[in-house]
Amino acid sequence: MFSVSDSTRTKIQRIIVTEQKTVADLLRELDISDDHVVLVNGKEMSSDFQLQENDKVAILPKIAGG
């Protein structure tokens, strides 16, 4: 499962990964820029992290503070 959220909407979608892929591969496949924070099972992961069966992925926009 992954979720995509931005300042105007929240979208939750379930995707079943049937082949090995990295976080970067998933973002490319979903047409999401790499300018996001990606959590896998609640922990921030790099773009080269290899996703496993049953991983829960949350994709969140980076937020700048001030």
Question: Residue 15's pLDDT is what?
Answer: 78
Average pLDDT over residues 22-49: 93
Mean pLDDT of 52-62: 88
What's residue 10's pLDDT? Answer: 63
pLDDT of residue 4: 46
Measured between its terminal Cα atoms, the distance across the chain in Å is 32
Q: Give residue 54's region: left, alpha or beta (phi > 0; psi -120 to 50).
A: left
Task: List CB contacts of 8: < 8 A, sequence separation 6 or more.
Answer: none
Q: Which residue has the higher pLDDT, 20 or 5?
A: 20
Q: What gap in Å lies between CA 56 and CA 3, rounded to an integer? A: 9
What is residue 45's predicted lDDT score, i.e. its pLDDT?
A: 95
Q: What are the structural domains of the chain?
A: 2-61 (3.10.20.30)
**Position 13: which residue type?**
Q
